[in-house]
Chains A and B, each alone.
Chain A
């Protein structure tokens, strides 16, 4: 395979089970299957949106890829390198190439460090710059994310949510990464601020040729930024498709339900509303067969016992995949 055909990030069969302990000696009594066998890739310079209801395992996917938690099984290849096999020292080097932006702009910045110290720390630790050079780089980063360099000696609590999120972005950019996991990066912000931050993320992507894994529960937000979207349900993928295909012809009943719950910007489009009934089941006891079957409007007998197969819709190059018995 040549460089251009290798995806930047290839995730294969990723699993993360959390032990549930009980009893006097804290024995593991069962497992929360937060992420259960997920395969996807992110291309160079691309944004993959990862969408799903809260609790379906999106954060776990993002953090497992970055080895902020150790996955139970699976393979993560970043630029062809096996991330899960890296030794601590190699991992520290690899961290320069992949970063993360968090949801909560309040808890993601150390309240006892100035925002200048927060952004310059990674540059110092990785010995990328010092002295005047360090100062220049930090100033540049501040300007790039739309903060005033003269505010560097201030503390996070003096800033609004949107400004703090910019500090978080500057920190993530400091090491000049290729890939950033944006975990609900705008979900905690006001709608008007959301648009500013989304624009900023898009400008930065163009300028630095970044790839994003953009995690969100809000379809409107990914629609704006993503090239492709992966829809997750209860620890597994339901559908992966380019944005246009997903919005115009969703194939999975869960995707259809999500889209119909989403306000349609065009009032002339008559949406057929599919109402999701029932609660999201617990990943501690996921339903057998297709995990969506207790809530699926199209449920068939086979869905209750057999795992849904992977079906490719249209041309394979298009990359529209769905896991559902309906389409087999």
Chain B
């Protein structure tokens, strides 16, 4: 029997192939480095504003109100309250707090809200969508599981999410955890729909039918053959989901329903600054820019992942 002697390129795992495509996408790569920087900043922010307080976001210095970025502390300020490095990198706010320290602390809070909220929404979405997509045909009384889950999803989608969250937040005790959980609980619908559609189409793929024909148990078919092929696009939407969770939190904070003081988030720094747009534009501009850049970076990375992970776009 003839042995195929066709020359082959060196082996490339799907991961290597993904890297090769992703590395050529400069926008996504830019977004990726921004996010790495953000991640480092967030962790450092947590460390240097709470554990080893180099930058104290909570010190009120009534002598140093509304100083623009790069100002030095006034002479009559208390020396213990002086900022690290002796300069207000991002100026001070109406209470004389160091905006840089507040932004630094806020980066961790904002990012963790994004990740935790998306984690919750992914968990719910993947579970409900997966069950609807795989066991959808099973009857519960007079309707199928799929009908039940998807109509519930549709009903949830009918409400404007932001107002739903606003209502829930207004009724519950305000805290950073409430915000995370509420955002997560009200944003899984897209993922559920998505995973269901993905499962429905993968279930009909020949490799899944082949697995069935080989007598491979259902649990293994789901977890070995279907889930890995359904997850790539879910990651893409999760990336973009983090951005929208950060945006939602900022929106809530801006309206005064967000994370309560003294925790600083970019949203409530922005919100505090909105009364002083003309007197101290940096209070408004700095957190605004930060949110914009981060949301943009998440979206660029999401788009890049979509391109690099989508097997349909790859050359055959």
Q: Chain A residues near B224: list those with CB within 8 A.
A: 113
| CB-based contact A111/B216 at 8 Å | no
Chain B residues 284 to 316 lying within 8 A of chain A, measured CB to CB, are 311, 314, 316
Chain A residues 71 to 111 lying within 8 A of chain B, measured CB to CB, are 91-93, 95-96, 99-100, 102-104, 106-111
Query: Would you call A291 an interface residue if the criterion is a C-beta within 8 Å of the partner chain's C-beta atoms?
Result: no
Query: Would you call A163 an interface residue if the criterion is a C-beta within 8 Å of the partner chain's C-beta atoms?
Result: yes
| CB-based contact B14/A111 at 8 Å | yes
Query: Would you call B9 an interface residue if the criterion is a C-beta within 8 Å of the partner chain's C-beta atoms?
Result: yes
Q: Chain A residues near B4: list those with CB within 8 A.
A: 146-148, 163, 166
User: Contact residue range for chain B?
Assistant: 20 to 34
Residue of B nearest to A91 (CB): B215
Q: Which of A120-128, A239-247, A256-264 binds B?
A: A120-128
Q: Which of B122-130, B154-162, B206-214 binds A?
A: B206-214
Q: How far is the CA of A309 from the CA of B14 in the complex (A)?
A: 56
| CB-based contact A110/B225 at 8 Å | yes
Q: Chain A residues near B17: list those with CB within 8 A.
A: 157
| CB-based contact A106/B212 at 8 Å | no
Q: A102-B210, A175-B214 are in contact. Are A158 and B8 (CB under 8 A)?
A: yes
Query: Would you call A285 an interface residue if the criterion is a C-beta within 8 Å of the partner chain's C-beta atoms?
Result: no
Residue of B nearest to A162 (CB): B4
Q: How far is the CA of A60 from the CA of B6 in the complex (A)?
A: 36
Q: Chain A residues near B206: list those with CB within 8 A.
A: 102-104, 107-108
Query: Would you call A160 an interface residue if the criterion is a C-beta within 8 Å of the partner chain's C-beta atoms?
Result: yes
| CB-based contact A171/B215 at 8 Å | no
| CB-based contact A153/B210 at 8 Å | no
Q: How far is the CA of A317 from the CA of B8 in the complex (A)?
A: 52
Q: Chain B residues near A108: list those with CB within 8 A.
A: 206-207, 210
Instruction: Name 9 extra pairs, CB < 8 A, besides A99-B213, A151-B8, A157-B14.
Output: A26-B147, A95-B214, A95-B215, A96-B215, A107-B207, A110-B229, A113-B224, A153-B11, A158-B8
> Measuring CB to CB, which residues of chain B are less than 8 angstroms from any residue of chain A?
1-4, 6, 8-9, 11-14, 17, 147, 205-207, 209-217, 220, 224-225, 228-229, 311, 314, 316
> Measuring CB to CB, which residues of chain A are less than 8 angstroms from any residue of chain B?
26, 63, 66, 68, 91-93, 95-96, 99-100, 102-104, 106-113, 121-122, 125-126, 143-148, 151, 153-155, 157-158, 160, 163, 166, 168, 171, 174-175, 196, 200, 203
